Chain A
Amino acid sequence: MVRVSFLLNLLGYTTAALGVAPLFLYLDLPVQLTLPLALAAGVFCDRRRRYPLSGGIATLLSIVCFLLYAVQISRDHLIEPVVNILALLLAVRLVTEKNGRNTLQVFVLAVFALASSTLLTLSAAFFLYLVLLVAGVTVGLVLLSFHAVNPQLVLSRLQTRRILGIALTLPAVSLVLMLAFFVILPRTQYPLWNFLNPTATATTGFSEEVRPGSFAGIAAGKEVALRVESERLPREELYWRGIILNTPAGSTWVRQLPPPGDMARIRGGRTIPQTIYPEPKSGNYLFALDVPRGVEGLRSSQAGDFIFRSRGSLDRRVKYTAVSVVGGALEAIGPVDRNFYLAVPPHLSERVHQVAVGIAARGAGAGDRIALLEAFFANQQLDYATSDLPASDDPVDEFLFEKKRGYCEFFASSFALLLRLSGVPARLVGGYYGGEYNEMGGYYLVTEDTAHVWVEALVDGHWVRLDPSRLARNAEASLLAPRVRGLSAGRRILDTVDYYWNRAVVAYDLARQLQLLQQTNRQLRQLRIPFDLQTAGVYLLAGIAGLIALVAMLRRGKYSREERILRAFLRRVRKKHHLDAIPAATGLQELAKQLDDPVCREFAEIFGGGVYRDRKLTGVELKRLKALVRRLHKGKAGPKRSAS
């Protein structure tokens, strides 16, 4: 027998824990301590059915908790006090008597707590909490209606199973409907309370200026920078352009607006459309495959050097589309302000100047000089490294001649400076290089540790991409390989989940979704599926296997375990003794006698001893019966006979 109030108590504890779990880390320490204590006290009080907190005291305590945090509420400090209030109210309700009204309050507070967690975090874990909480609350509400009819109601085990079975169909179907409602619910274009939504903090890795020598070592994590949905590309094309740094100020490269009239156009090449999901960050540069021709889906501005900036901030989840050209030429239109792209900082060492003078003297054109400079870099036996880095006032000199080790910023800034000193206009391009293609999701995952800086030099009126980091002795091992190695299998799966979560839920937009639908529709019409016998065969087999499993499950559910073992026994007996059919009226004992089979006799005795005396078979008996059925299977077949 099961008491309904006991089930309700269990559901109350569970839903309270599920509601608070996603925001637990954001609660104040005293509240964090109070919650588990309240839960434990609630369990204790419910077991003893004595509640120290009567209705009046509980209400008073709730008001005090409310006031305690309500006074802290301000426009800039709104969410934290509210979630603390919710958690404290929940704690109070956990300790009080669980009558119908209070249990309902626990459910409501748990739902509100989960709702408020969306204003603190947009993690995919929310979905898990949501599913579990919806299941718990809906089953709880069903049980509450039984509780309302009779608070002392006790149900039989069978009734409980049946009621819970029906109650569980509620969340199951609700969650399916949820997906439909989610798609069609109307959205406002400009939400009024957008400020309440969580803002992600900026991640490390990519930065809007290049300052070699400022750190003795760098450590970039595997935080996701962006995900790019596109076709698979060769590794050497995976340059994600973000910013152009055109002005060296001391040892730091910064971006200034390109001189007026500094325009370029892209000629030739192959266009690659991409959909890009950047992680929230503080800057507003929009990344895309080098060289992006256009960006859509966000209000953005384009500079003459094909740098795109969002007009709004990128501190929340957004997505945009970009069309890039791979393998084309970036041709400068009109005269380039050479002085602007040849400017160098004043305090460069004599050795650096001498190298540049030498290259300028030996190389006639920009192409020759680049080749000479590349040869110089190769001769210097430079290493790509992220530790024990040059950290003096003149990092370029130290990098090229002393330590001979550094990361992309050292390579790129030294290369660009030497190009400028030898009379070749050059600039730095900041972005990412590499990315791991996620086959499951069909997207590139670009992490912060692939932040990269390379050089663009003006050669015969074209801006040409040069990556001096490739000139490192250990380029293949240190620079290139890690950038495509990516994440471990486990993290890759998690990232796929996260990707789809962000794409389908967090950044969901009906208008775009319709666009996608139309696009898919168009694509489907144009689709020509090549007939692949192997794939078709696999699908067919999977379908048949699924169907068999379904039928087996249904059959299994149809018969009790006694009926199942009896059916198996009769099947085996028919097979072993070559019987066409065993008449339904034939008793087991009679059958055993007719067949004169000791196995059948033993089966009949055990089975009859249980089932015909109207009791269920014990575990031991069932085990023995199964063993007998197996023995029938192994036993040798006798002569054909018929049972009557």
Chain B
Amino acid sequence: MTLLLGFAAVNTGNNLLYLLVSALLGFMAVSGVLGRWNLAGLGVRVEVPDEVYDGVSTLLTVRIENRKRLLPVCLVDVLLPAAGQATFIFVERGGTASETLTATFHGRGIHTLAQAQVRSIFPINFFVRSFPVPVDRKLTVFPTPRPCRLAGEAGRQTAGGELPVGRKGYEGELSRISDYHGGEPLKLIHWKLSARHGQLKVKELSDAARPPVTIELDFLPGRLEERLRCAAYLADSYLRENRPVGLRLGSRTLPPAVGRAHKLRLLTELAVHGQG
């Protein structure tokens, strides 16, 4: 339109048309600057859940932060490879906003979300401004758990005497009697024996949990990837039963334990196994 009117202005020498063309040119210049300002001072952060499995959809949170002191951020799309785009309509100055995206990662191991593409049509929908924003978010994609034969058949149940049976607890069966060290609860003091021995004796109870199990990858069936998926499945299922799970990968051994942190450690080991 500007070109057409500019052409008409030059050809007619009509200064009023020049005025109109000048206004349109001014508008284009200002809209360009405003478009740049809109994307300035923008921080993008991607939040990834703890457990991401190979080939399984997961939800990522894209959070943008408007660090500008005066202007809001309008109409910004954040594009993440393998995750699609999140659209933010309006983020006030100094404010943050977040959107959730569904993403699927393929291949176990450590993945890096190096950068996101930020783009905007603001202020006018004639041009799209776009630039990459570093995200530098590393995430570990775990092998997808795949059901396989149970531990009794595939893994090697811990043999008695090889490893201490369970851990000390407060609710299980009596495993032994030991001397009182001062830290034990009074209810564990075995008063009869204490009287008999002349010194305080305490009951040591075994943990109420089920017996620990160590998953040995080499003994699992199938090829490496299948074994890893199977190990992930087993680790997950045992830990769900609150049964301590250990892992032996070749010469490396992770002692059996329970808890979420341990689960993530096991899955991470499985994810990076054999990837140097």
Contacts and interface: CB of A to CB of B under 8 A. Distances in A.
A181 B5 contact: no
Contacts of B17: 115, 118
Given A166-B34, A175-B26, A185-B18, A145 B125 contact: yes
Contact of B89 (A146, A182, A191, A196): A146
Interface in A384-403: none
Contact of A197 (B12, B71, B92): B12
Nearest to B16: A118
B219 interface: no
A434 to B, nearest CB: 30
Interface of chain A, helix or strand or loop or mixed? helix
Contact of B1 (A108, A122, A126, A174): A108
B253 interface: no
B10 A187 contact: yes
Given A194-B12, A506-B16, A141 B124 contact: yes
B89 A149 contact: yes
B27 A115 contact: no
A179 B87 contact: no
A73 interface: no
B90 A138 contact: no
Interface in B1-28: 1, 5-6, 8-27
B11 to A, nearest CB: 4
A170 B24 CA distance: 11
A116 to B, nearest CB: 9
Contact of B27 (A144, A170, A193): A170
A12 to B, nearest CB: 16
B13 A197 contact: yes
A554 interface: no
Contacts of A162: 72, 90, 92
A428 interface: no
A130 interface: yes
Interface string B117-138: 0000111110000000000000
A217 B19 CA distance: 44
A505 B15 contact: yes
Contacts of A167: 123
Interface residues of A, number: 56
Contacts of B115: none
A192 interface: yes
Interface string A142-168: 101110111001010001001100110
Most A-side CB within 10 Å, residue of B13, B90, B92: B13
Nearest to B2: A111
Nearest to A155: B90
A24 interface: no
Nearest to B124: A141
A161 to B, nearest CB: 11
B29 interface: yes
A69 interface: no
Contacts, number: 146
A177 to B, nearest CB: 3
B75 interface: yes
A134 B27 contact: yes
Contacts of B24: 111
A176 B26 contact: yes
B89 A150 contact: yes
Among A130, A148, A162, A166, chain B packs the most CB atoms within 10 A around the CB of A166
Contacts of B1: 108, 111-112
Contact of B23 (A166, A169, A175, A188): A175
B30 interface: yes
Nearest to A137: B27
B26 A181 contact: yes
A557 to B, nearest CB: 13
A182 B22 contact: yes
B123 A170 contact: yes
A318 to B, nearest CB: 12
A119 interface: yes
A188 B11 contact: yes
Nearest to A111: B1
B31 interface: yes
B62 to A, nearest CB: 16
A119 B27 contact: no
Which of A108, A130, A142 is packed against the most chain B CB atoms within 10 Å? A142
A106 to B, nearest CB: 13
Contact of A173 (B8, B26, B122): B26
B125 A185 contact: no
Contacts of A180: 22, 26
Contacts of A181: 21-23, 25-26
A596 to B, nearest CB: 43
B254 interface: no
Contacts of B75: 145-146, 149
B122 A145 contact: yes
Nearest to B92: A162
A244 to B, nearest CB: 33
Interface in A102-132: 108, 111-112, 114-115, 118-119, 122, 126-127, 130
A145 B19 contact: no
Given A155-B90, A506-B16, A144 B10 contact: no
B74 interface: yes
Contacts of B6: 185
A488 to B, nearest CB: 28
A144 B126 CA distance: 10
A111 to B, nearest CB: 7
B8 A115 contact: yes
Contacts of A187: 10, 13, 18
A142 B123 contact: yes
Nearest to B7: A193
A170 B10 contact: no
Given A119-B14, A192-B11, A194-B13, A182 B19 contact: yes
Contact of A138 (B9, B19, B27): B27
B22 A179 contact: yes
A492 to B, nearest CB: 24
Nearest to B22: A181
Contacts of B11: 188, 191-193
B26 A191 contact: no
Given A146-B75, A166-B74, A174 B18 contact: no
A33 B74 CA distance: 41
A159 B13 contact: no
A185 B20 contact: no
A346 interface: no
Contacts of B123: 141-142, 145, 166-167, 170
Interface string B21-60: 1111111011100100000000000000000000000000
B13 A171 contact: no
Contact of A130 (B8, B20, B31, B90): B20
A127 B8 CA distance: 18
A169 B29 CA distance: 12
Given A118-B20, A141-B123, 12 more contacts: A130-B20, A145-B122, A162-B72, A170-B34, A175-B23, A177-B29, A181-B22, A182-B19, A185-B18, A187-B18, A191-B10, A194-B12
13 contacts: A115-B17, A142-B122, A145-B123, A155-B90, A159-B90, A166-B72, A178-B23, A181-B26, A187-B10, A187-B13, A188-B13, A191-B11, A196-B14
The 5 A-B pairs at the shortest CB distance, nearest first, are namely A177-B26, A191-B13, A181-B22, A118-B16, A174-B26
